[in-house]
Amino acid sequence: MSTESKKLTTQEKALRINLSKAIYGSFAEIGAGQEVAANFFKVGGASGTIAKTISAYDMKFSDAIYGQCDRYVCEDRLIQMLDHEYALLPQRLPDRAPQTRFFSFADTVEILNYERTNQGHGWIGLRFQLHPLSEPNDCVIHVKMHDNDPLQQQFALGIVGVNLLYGCMFVSDPDQIMMSMLDGLTTRRIEVDMFRLDGPDFKHVDNRLMALKLVRGGLTKAAMFGPDGTVLQPSEALYKRNVLVLRGRFRPVTHVNADMLLTARRHFKKEPDVDKSRLVVLTELTLNDLASDGAIDEKDFLARADVICSLGQTVLISNYFEYYRLTDYLSKITKGKKIGLILGIYALQKIFEEKTYENTRGGILESFASLFGMNVKLYIYPALRRNSDDVITLKDFEEELPANLKNLFRYLMDNNKLEDIEDANISNLHIISDNVLAMIRKGEVGWEKFVPHKVEQAIKEQSLFDYKPVPPVVVNGVSGNGVTVQVPN
């Protein structure tokens, strides 16, 4: 809950907006999102805020107003609505422009159907000015609704809409705007799994960081952004796609991480039930992997995001510590499409440790039912045995398993749930990311050979992970670090 608005109810927020003479705009709601404008009418004084409300419920009417669209509950339709409605305000109300902060609110929503066979969700957006005659900003969110009653979903959506308009108009801190979305609600009712804030007044906002804060703040369990930093809505980006996931700290990305992605992708594409044209590769950061001493360093997070994005990878941030929770989440989105997880051999050891599931009612069998019950396969990358140059593979792993788990392991192998990555580049297995990070921070020479070239470039160009270029000390044309240097005349 936001600190600035926690004392205000939904009705009080709506009334404060209505009583502000400087805020004026329109509401456009498609589908089930009919409760937002209603909140402003109910508290009184709505004529001071609302220039127009519109509900284009029929698809043909909607297309006639906003243009053709393949899907109606999607971000593209929301942007069409904002473009159309906001342009009308200064066009039709030029006399109000010098003293008015215009806004256009829009939502396109699907609530629980009569048979209760769908997931209620919606796109909500606001185009708004912070100052009269200024260029507008956009705030766009996606919500998933969890109430079991359609009417309750509508009421909850109405609260979110008021929170969005109030936050953007009266709260200056982007973090507080985001956290205020669920004022008066809980994540048992509404989940915000995408948040984007941009415009001339919010150039300082990094929406990748906002994605992290969505998960850290408990508004959702997972959030995504693409290689270009654009935040993505997971259910839309991964719907009915084959997903391959590598979890790691990526601090920084090393040749080992890159080889895990490349080799596992080759194996995954060979699966008969994988559609190569609908394959998405994700690099996943969990809150546990991001936290150091219980705290998350935002600068460090952005450094990791930058090096991952430099390789063209899509990032998933999640609060699913256990792999079986991650696959359960992804399976609901991908609708049964094959999912691949890339694991090192030591990560697989933790999955097979029974003490990991002491607080799970069904123990290891219950968690394995979720992890492997759906169309999931694990691709296991080899590792060096600790304090040795011996390479450990699934064969070695099986030999070292406790006797009571060997048959369970063999069942998974026989049913194609586990596969060795046999073509791994074992010459890189000695690379440890913590050691590489220490070299970068100490300004030591030679760390570059342990990371992909694009990662090296990103680290040096953006001074990531506290990197500082070391000026060479020239002695007889040779620098102190052994690199020949051209000395100008």
Q: Where are the domains of the chain?
A: 10-205, 237-428
Region 193-202: mean pLDDT is: 97
pLDDT 10s digits, 53-97? 999 878 888 889 998 887 888 999 999 999 999 999 999 999 999
Q: Are 92 and 66 in contact (CB under 8 A)?
A: no
Nearest to 326 by CA among 364, 374, 292: 374
d(CA 75, CA 108): 9
d(CA 37, CA 148): 23
Question: Of 142-146, 290-294, 316-320, 377-381, which range is least confident?
Answer: 290-294
Question: Of 35-44, 367-376, 417-426, which range is least confident?
Answer: 367-376
d(CA 119, CA 464): 40
Q: Are 1 and 180 in contact (CB under 8 A)?
A: yes
- Strand 339-344 with 376-381, pairing: parallel
Whether 487 shows a pLDDT value over 50: the answer reads: no
For residue 270, the surrounding DSSP H or E stretch is: none
Specify the pLDDT at position 34.
82
CB atoms within 10 A of CB 50: 18
Specify the pLDDT at position 71.
82
CATH dotted code for 237-428 = 3.40.50
pLDDT 10s digits, 241-270? 999 999 999 999 999 999 999 999 999 999
Region 319-348: mean pLDDT is: 94
CA distances (Å), 464 to each of 11, 210, 252, 310, 437, in order? 46, 19, 9, 12, 10
Specify the pLDDT at position 36.
95
| CATH architecture label of 10-205 | Alpha-Beta Complex (3.90)
Question: Of 33-37, 400-404, 455-459, which range is least confident?
Answer: 33-37
